[in-house]
Amino acid sequence: MSLLPHFFASAVVIIGILPWAIETAQLRIYHGSLNNYTATELEEPLKLLPFINKSIKSMFYVFGFSETPESTDTTLILSAYLKKNYTNVLLVDWLKEASKEFVGEELSYAFKVVPLARYVGIQLGKALISLSENGLDPNMTHLVGHSLGAQVAGFAGETTREKNIWLPRITGLDPAGPLFQGVVNNNGLNPSRAKFVDVLHTDPRRYGVISSIGSVDFWANCNLEVQPGCTVDNSDSENSFCSHQRSCGYFSEAILNPQSFPAVQASNCSSWGQNTSNSAVITFLGDAVDISARGNFYFSTNSGSPYSKGRNGLVPNK
């Protein structure tokens, strides 16, 4: 999906939410497996409260543009968290709003899905406020979003903050770039959306944002045009999304093995690899991240699963 002309992008801001913004988004909570869940309308989150264990953390996942609850990226993340079995696993199912069945991929993204991303994000924020007012500790919540879902999570964090509820953490997996950077920026995910915002970049040259937008930004294989194992594809085929989707592959692996992706701090990609001394600042992708860390962190990967190279990933691939 190419970056749309500015007059298209500007229209998105003006149009806002149009009549096709049918309220269909749902919230799911899983009961140990992907096939066993309870769902409710996103605007009625309290129906899920009896199923939430308030003594453990709750992870809310938001998938991206044209994805579904059954998409590979979605199931990778949900399955990883379900295997860990230490957190409530919830999904924001905005299948209808995120679909590209409108007037083609580019126009659908610009005129339908991006405006609805803000709408769904606001509704998610309101759901979190309602849950927190009825016993769910907001300090035990974690939002994770892929692509446009990361921007939805950003809008949710903005909404809760307006009620003085600061979410502890939002994780963005290769947040969507088109219409969220440059001249027309819908201002979704950024460091102000939560107490700690960690962002993984895997496709900044095409579908992801090109700049640092988190408290900590992880840049995977930033010295390469595409992620290892992916090929250069300038079409809009499924293969062109390979690097964009790798963010979910890396992060799901990091969930299951918290210290599998150490990353080293550097000022930019060009300087990455210059500091290999013991004084280098290192943190980890995933739940082992140091929430006091700030700045850009870099790591390299293998071309296939397992993607982790351990400490060998602290230097660029040749």
How far is the C-alpha of 251 from the C-alpha of 285, rounded, in Å?
A: 7
Torsion from C-alpha of 156, 160, 166, 169, nearest 10 degrees: -20
Is the omega angle on the peptide bond into residue 306 within 30 degrees of 0, that is, cis? Answer: yes
For residue 98, the model assigns a pLDDT of 87
| Closest residue by Cα to residue 203 from 257, 253, 146, 265 | 146
Q: How confident is the model at residue 23 (pLDDT cuts 50, 70, 90)?
A: low
Give the pLDDT of residue 235: 61
Residues with Cβ within 8 Å of residue 121, at least 6 apart in sequence: 151, 152, 153, 154, 155, 156, 158, 159, 188
Closest CA to 48 of 31, 66, 70, 62: 31
User: Which of these is catalytic: 215, 244, 287, 308?
Assistant: 244
This prediction has a pTM of 0.92
Select from 50, 88, 136 the least CA-distant residue to 40: 50
244: annotated active-site residue: yes
Give the count of domains, the chain: 1
237 pLDDT higher than 70? no
Mean pLDDT of 134-158: 97
Which pair of tokens denotes residue 261? 């992706």
| Residue 15 pLDDT exceeds 70 | no
Q: Do the domain assignments include residue 91?
A: yes
Closest CA relative to residue 104, chosen from 223, 4, 251 = 4
On whether residue 1 sits in a domain, the answer given is: no
pLDDT at residue number 110:
85
From residue 42, how far is each of 35, 142, 193, 224, 290 by CA, in Å? 20, 17, 20, 40, 32
Q: What number is the average pLDDT over the span 141-168? A: 97
Q: Select the more confidently predicted residue: 36 or 103.
A: 36
Of 145, 138, 206, 152, the residue nearest 171 (C-alpha): 145
147 noted as active-site residue: yes
β-strands 169-173, 57-62 pairing:
unpaired
What is the average pLDDT across 109-113?
85
Q: Is residue 118 domain-resident?
A: yes
Residue of 236 and 300 predicted with greater confidence:
300
Active-site option among 174, 198, 203, 287:
174
pLDDT band at 277 (very low <50, low <70, confident <90, very high): low
In a domain, 301, yes or no: yes
- Over residues 129-157, mean pLDDT: 97
Residue 139 pLDDT exceeds 60: yes
The residue assigned the tokens 């991240």 is: 289
> What was the pLDDT predicted at 273?
83
Domain of 273, in residue numbers: 6-314
Residue 139 covered by a domain: yes
Q: What is the mean pLDDT of residues 89-105?
A: 84
In a domain, 29, yes or no: yes
Spatial separation of the C-alpha atoms in residues 207 and 1, rounded to whole Å: 7
Distance, CA of 136 to CA of 220 (rounded, Å): 34
Q: Give tens-digit pLDDT for 202-230.
A: 999 899 999 999 999 999 999 999 999 99
Give domain status of residue 175, yes or no. Answer: yes
Strand pairing class (184-185; 180-181): antiparallel
Cα–Cα distance for residue pair 241/147, rounded to 1 Å: 11
* Band of residue 238 on the pLDDT scale cut at 50, 70, 90: low
Which one has a higher pLDDT value, 21 or 139? 139
CATH number for the domain including 119? 3.40.50.1820
Q: In this predicted model, which residue has the larger pLDDT, 136 or 20? A: 136
Question: Which one is catalytic: 66, 132, 147, 260?
Answer: 147
